[in-house]
Amino acid sequence: MPLSPLHIETPLLRTAADYSASGLPLWLKLDALQPSGSFKLRGVGLLCQHEVAKGAREIFCASGGNAGIAAAVAGKALGVPVTIVVPETTSPEVRTRIAATGASVLVHGSVFDEANAHAVALAAERKAAYVHPYDHPLLWEGHATLIDEVVKAGAEFDCVVTSVGGGGLLAGIVEGLRRNGLRDIPVMAVETEGAASLNAAVAAKERVTLPAITSIAVSLGARQVAQHVFDLLETHPIESVTVTDAEAVAACLKFADAHRVLVEPACGAALAVADVHADRLSRYKAPLIEVCGGIGVSLAALEAWRARFL
Ligand SMILES: *Cc1c(COP(=O)(O)O)cnc(C)c1O
């Protein structure tokens, strides 16, 4: 018996053609409305369910925010304690939001890699399950449900636009396309300058590690993409593009005004493509944009970014 999912089926909207410079009506998949505030509950929820079904009595996850709160929401639904290890860079607001779910929040290290190493060690020591934020086949399988939903809704689309951090979401989208017989549909993979580890890997033709993350889109701040994601460049049509932080913020503001929903700059990056890379997008007829969401945003944060960038 398949486990019933912890994520919800999210709305799919269609914009007017004049919504963006692309001149195309856009399909928007509103994963910002997941109970965890982002798509991450899809994969993290599935992974946590499997771990608990295998006997895990405790869950550890390292995260800058959205994977952590997804693990916290999943753990709560499954009735197991969850500990989220966040780096010092995770804002007090995000720490508070994660803690509000009942999860323990530990602050460790100045960057994600340090927080992650600590979470791995703690999980091993306590014989608990460890949940990676983007590098696990069950995460990709869970994220793939977003494509299942769009297909089930009967929406016809001919390209998918998504943000990329470590690449778990991208891998899930490719998995979803494949399992729905849509392996020819290309994916536009979007990063912000300063967090563009996939873009750097495409240019170098090998996986590279960025020296630092300098973008405000912290949810895209994986210094290196997963090996599986790098390998997908060979087997799926994937186009890597970048936008600036300012462009990502502008897209968040435009989206908030149009749809009355706040999303992180990490998500604004994907939304920005319809204006910033309108020429590339207009090679297609019906793009689908994954509105991945994120909890690292507030009215105050958006105002501050507006003041800084626009
Ligand atoms: C995690 C996350 C991403 C990036 O996902 P990856 O699987 O790391 O590529 C993008 N946007 C938001 C809001 C996220 O939480």
Sign (positive/negative) of CA torsion 182, 186, 192, 198? Answer: positive
Q: Is 166 in the pocket of ligand 1 (CB under 6 A)?
A: yes
Q: Report the chain's terminal Cα–Cα distance, integer Å.
A: 51
- Say if residue 191 is exposed, middle or buried (CB neighbours under 10 Å; 0-12, 13-18, 19+): buried
pLDDT the model gives residue 89: 86
User: Given phi > 0 = left and psi -120 to 50 = alpha, else beta, which region is 205?
Assistant: left
Name the helix (H) or strand (E) containing 14.
strand 12-14
Q: Is 147 in the pocket of ligand 1 (CB under 6 A)?
A: no
Q: Is 119 in the pocket of ligand 1 (CB under 6 A)?
A: no
pLDDT the model gives residue 223: 93
pLDDT the model gives residue 233: 98
pLDDT the model gives residue 1: 56
Quick check: 25 and 14 in contact, CB under 8 A?
Answer: yes
The segments of the chain whose pLDDT lies below 50 read none
Sheet holding 104-107, edge to edge: 104-107, 82-86, 59-62, 129-131
pLDDT in tens, 110-143: 888 899 999 999 999 999 999 999 999 999 999 9
Q: How far is the CA of 163 from the centre of ligand 1 (A)?
A: 7
pLDDT in tens, 222-242: 999 999 999 999 999 999 999
Residue closest by Cα to atom 14 of ligand 1: 219
**Top-level class of domain 12-39+137-309:** alpha beta
Residues 6+ apart with CB under 8 A from 300: none
- Residue intervals of the chain classified under CATH 3.40.50.1100 are 12-39+137-309, 40-131
Write the CA distances from 140 to 4, 16, 35, 110, 164, integer angstroms.
17, 31, 19, 27, 13
State the fold for domain 40-131: Rossmann fold (3.40.50)
